[in-house]
Amino acid sequence: MDFISLSVSVHWLLVTGIGIRVIMKRPEAGVALAWMLLVAVVPYGGALVYLLIGERRIDPRREREIKALQQDYRRLFDTAREQGITDVDWLSHSPAAKQLDTLGGNLVGSHAVGGSAFQLKSDTAEVLATLASEIDAAKTSVLMEFYIWAEGGAADTVLEALIKAAGRGVSCRVLVDAIGARPWWKGDQPARLRAAGVEVRPALPVGLFRSFVGRTDLRLHRKIVVIDGEIAWTGSMNLVDPRFFKADAGVGEWVDAMVRVEGPIVGPLAAIAIGDWRLETNEPISDLVKSAGLRLNPARGTTDMQAIPSGPGQSVDGLLQMMLALIAAAREELVVTTPYLVPDASLLRALRGAAGRGVAVSIIVPERVDSVLTRYASRSYFEDLLDAGVAIHLYRDGLLHTKSIVADSKMAMFGTANIDMRSIWLNYEDVLFVYDPAFSTELRALQATYIEASDPLLPGDWADRATTERFTENAARLISPLL
């Protein structure tokens, strides 16, 4: 047998073997077909890519640690329930809210807690200034985790505040994704923090050995700050100043929103961040809880919130099921903001179904995004949505990065998860489901400002786009399950 014949035979053996493995793993049909197509049409390279990132494969040690942490989460909520901290007056909400709480409890182990206070912030400069000020005032602990940290501008004021806090004896822990913040890790700021006494760790570091025991593209996409165990922040904003971050990307400044919370919800958010730190450091959970000041906080307001962590090893499809339930709960209006719109089949049908039953569905996405492939894949879904009566708004004043869903101005989703398959299946995310008309109304007002700064996508205009554009979009859609 000559070399070419041998190569072809080995290729088709790989196609057959990986095809059998894909079938036995039972992923979504679209994901399975996309992988099998890639392995078949890209000799050897497709098989290598599949073996590296084709499955939600995590380090067995990490998987065991996550399961242990889930037991800790459940004990936390059991204690909170015994003390009445999780008590929520569900009679004041729609039946769908109670069902969402039950769903999150059953699938993720996280229930809603009552009595929190919130401040919704959409000015990045104000968020960074307030963070720096509150870290300056910290007495015992600062716990932070972000997907991206970038030098420059007001982000540096947060760094200086951490250095000063550590200098006066405050326990400071910072966890930043190894890939999302790769340029930052190559700079001198991590060393400056460590020299000052701040504990800084990369989340999910990559390497040749790690690629054999787990996927290297599973990323920590969470954004959480906890100060003195009393104040917490979360939302879509990375630790960056948008005036300096990716200024040459051609998409404008990133537009984000964060929520500052006090009260019982701080505990679940702190538990998520502490768990992530534990996974990277193996520090005893009791020591982390003590030094971070994690406790069951008393009521500070009237808002009922549910923190939902998601990611490989934490839940199979808990976040997706929560999103679907929230969309199904809408009766009059549903407004969605996301920078990356690459929904799986179930989300696409849920959005179309909501519009079909008479709900006024609006989706706000940026006109330009920082990924060409994602942009074309996202646009391939516009026709399906427009045909069902969904209104699509193209935000023109930068890269709209806020991730939110508001249903009937009564319930909302707010956090780090995009409406795409990477957030749903691959990233470690944190999301708040909020059962409060006051929060939902305020978030809906913010969404209204985004709509005002957007251009509506008219079905007639969209139908007139060039055939080459249609082909490129549909081709990108074929591999959208892999994005």
Gap between the Cα atoms of 50 and 43, Å rounded: 12
In this prediction, residue 213 carries a pLDDT of: 54
**How far separated are the first and last CA of the chain, in Å rounded?**
39
**pLDDT tens per residue across all 483 residues of the chain:** 576 777 778 778 887 888 888 888 777 777 788 788 888 888 888 787 777 777 766 777 777 777 777 777 676 666 666 666 668 999 999 999 999 999 999 999 889 999 999 999 999 999 999 999 999 999 999 999 999 999 999 999 999 999 999 999 999 999 999 999 999 999 999 999 999 999 999 999 886 655 555 566 789 999 999 999 999 999 999 999 999 998 888 899 999 999 999 999 999 999 999 999 999 998 887 777 777 777 778 899 999 999 999 998 888 899 999 999 999 999 999 999 999 999 988 999 999 999 999 999 999 999 999 888 888 899 999 999 999 999 999 999 999 999 999 999 999 999 999 999 889 988 999 999 999 999 999 999 999 999 999 999 999 889 888 889 888 888 888 777 655
98 is catalytic: no
Q: How many CB atoms lie within 10 A of CB 469?
A: 12
Q: What residue type is assigned to position 210 of the chain?
A: R
The amino acid present at 285, given as its one-letter code, is I
- Find out whether 324 and 346 touch, Cβ atoms under 8 Å: yes
What pLDDT does 61 receive?
74
DSSP 77: H
Query: Is residue 199 within 8 Å of residue 170, measured between CB atoms?
Result: no
Beta strands 231-235; 224-227: pairing state: antiparallel
> 């049908």: which residue's tokens?
349
Quote the pLDDT of residue 371. Answer: 84
Q: Which of 84, 87, 111 is nearest to 99 (CA)?
A: 111
Residue 80 pLDDT:
65
Cα 172 to chain centroid, rounded? 24
Q: Does 223 qualify as catalytic in the annotation?
A: yes
Beta bridge partners of 201: 175
What single string gives the DSSP state of each residue in 297-324?
Answer: PPP-SSEEEEEEEE-TTT-SSHHHHHHH
| Contact criterion met (CB below 8 Å) for 236 and 259 | no
Q: What is the pLDDT, as a whole number, of residue 416?
A: 98
DSSP state of 412: E
* Residue 67 is among the residues annotated as catalytic for this protein: no
Q: Catalytic one among 93, 111, 121, 223?
A: 223
Give me the catalytic one of 111, 121, 221, 410: 221
Q: Clarify whether 436 is annotated catalytic.
A: no
Cβ partners under 8 Å of residue 422, min gap 6: 340, 342, 483
For residue 111, indicate whether it is catalytic: no
**pLDDT of 43:** 84
- To 10 degrees, the CA torsion angle through 34, 40, 42, 45? 90
Catalytic, out of 59, 101, 177, 228: 228
| Residue with the two structure tokens 């007495």 | 139
- The pLDDT value given to residue 79: 67
Phi, psi of 441 (to 5 degrees): -65, -40
Closest CA relative to residue 115, chosen from 337, 299, 374, 253: 299
Can you tell me the distance from the alpha carbon of 241 to that of 254, in angstroms, rounded to the nearest whole number? 9
Burial class (CB in 10 A: 0-12, 13-18, 19+), 116: buried
Contact 218, 427 (CB under 8 A): yes
Q: Which of 229, 306, 234, 300 is nearest to 263 (CA)?
A: 300
Q: Give the separation between CA 253 and CA 247, rounded to whole angstroms.
A: 7
Interatomic CA distance for residues 85 and 79, integer angstroms: 9
Question: What is the largest distance, in Å, between two alpha-carbon atoms of the chain?
Answer: 76
- Considering the candidates 177, 401, 410, 420, report the single residue annotated as catalytic: 401
Whether 299 and 264 have beta carbons less than 8 Å apart is answered as yes
d(C-alpha 222, C-alpha 447), whole Å: 22
DSSP symbols for 244-296: TTTTTSSS--EE--EEEEESTTHHHHHHHHHHHHHHHH---HHHHHHHHT---
| Cα 59 from Cα 120, distance rounded (Å) | 37
- How far apart CA 234 and CA 431 sit, in angstroms, is 8
- Amino acid of residue 393: H
- Residue (of 301, 305, 258) closest to 125 by Cα position: 258
